[in-house]
Amino acid sequence: MTAVSGIFGSSEYPFNLAGVDDAPPPPDRPVSLAGDAGLDELARWAASERVDEAARSRAAQRRHGAAEASESTVAGLLARMAEGTRPVLVDTVGGDRMRGRVAVVGADFCVIAGAGGQAMVPTAAIAAVGEAPGGSGDRPGPGSLALGAEAPGAAFGEALTALGAERPLVRIAAGGRHWRGRLASAGADVVSVVAAPGPGPAEAAASHIAVAAIDHLMILDR
């Protein structure tokens, strides 16, 4: 140990000056990366950062692409419109047009609730969909929705089967024609509509319509 005196007064303030050059540099002093070890470490860090950044970029592109892809389908457009408050216009392949709000988006159909009733429209029967001009004068259709239609992922056939148990007054468009009557029953691939009482007490005029041919079903009364 070397004693230093002078401005500090005397040897009462000893300082160890041994190994001063070996002390670590202060925080604001640049650290040299000279040498293969330092450069290799820096290169590995930079490469790791590039890989992470590329992964984050790809993940963001996938999320953006998935959102665009979902909206590029009819079901995706209907789901987005269901979140809004604007009425929509739905044109079917049979040539009918419905105006209302998207109340339900099922696995393969949607429910458009408007002033004329609730229209259950298979997705395959939709020719065009878009936002309707204005927004006044639209009110929900009669009654609640079909039992089961509100369930996420419900299919058109399942919703028809549940609706058939209520025997509502409906109008069904299929094959270029319209049938109006009570929905008497709904099976796996056919629905029955009772149009009017028949001549006998236990008879009724009924039409049996293939589910696959239905352009849309309008619930008029429950």
Residues 42 and 110 in one domain: no
Q: What letter does residue 188 receive in the DSSP assignment?
A: S
Residues 185 and 145 in one domain: yes
Domain boundary among 44, 72, 100: 72
- Compute the Cα dihedral for 66, 72, 74, 79 and give only its sign: positive
Helices (DSSP H) in 144-212: which residue ranges?
156-164
Give Cα 104 distance to the centre of its chain. 12
Domain of residue 186: give its range: 86-221
For the segment 121-130, the average pLDDT, to the nearest whole number, is: 94
**What global pTM score does this model have?**
0.62
- What CATH number should be reported for the domain holding residue 159? 2.30.30.600
Residue 169 included in any domain: yes
Residues 164 and 210 in one domain: yes
pLDDT in tens, 29-80: 454 555 566 666 767 777 777 777 777 777 666 665 554 444 578 888 998 9
Q: What is the mean pLDDT of the chain?
A: 76
- Residues 206 and 181: their CA atoms lie apart, in Å, by 9
Q: What pLDDT was estimated at residue 5?
A: 46
Residue 88 pLDDT exceeds 90? yes
Q: Is 135 helix (H, G, I), strand (E, B) or coil?
A: coil
Surface-to-core class of residue 126, CB atoms within 10 Å of its CB (0-12 exposed, 13-18 middle, 19+ buried): buried
Domain count of the chain? 2
Residue 3 included in any domain: no
Domain boundary among 72, 99, 126: 72
Residue 165: strand pairing partners = none
Closest CA to 110 of 67, 77, 63: 77
Closest CA to 128 of 177, 101, 91: 91
Amino acid of residue 49: E
Residue 187 included in any domain: yes
For the segment 121-141, the average pLDDT, to the nearest whole number, is: 78
Residue 150 included in any domain: yes
pLDDT in tens, 160-191: 998 988 899 999 999 999 999 999 999 889 99
Closest CA to 170 of 97, 220, 109: 220
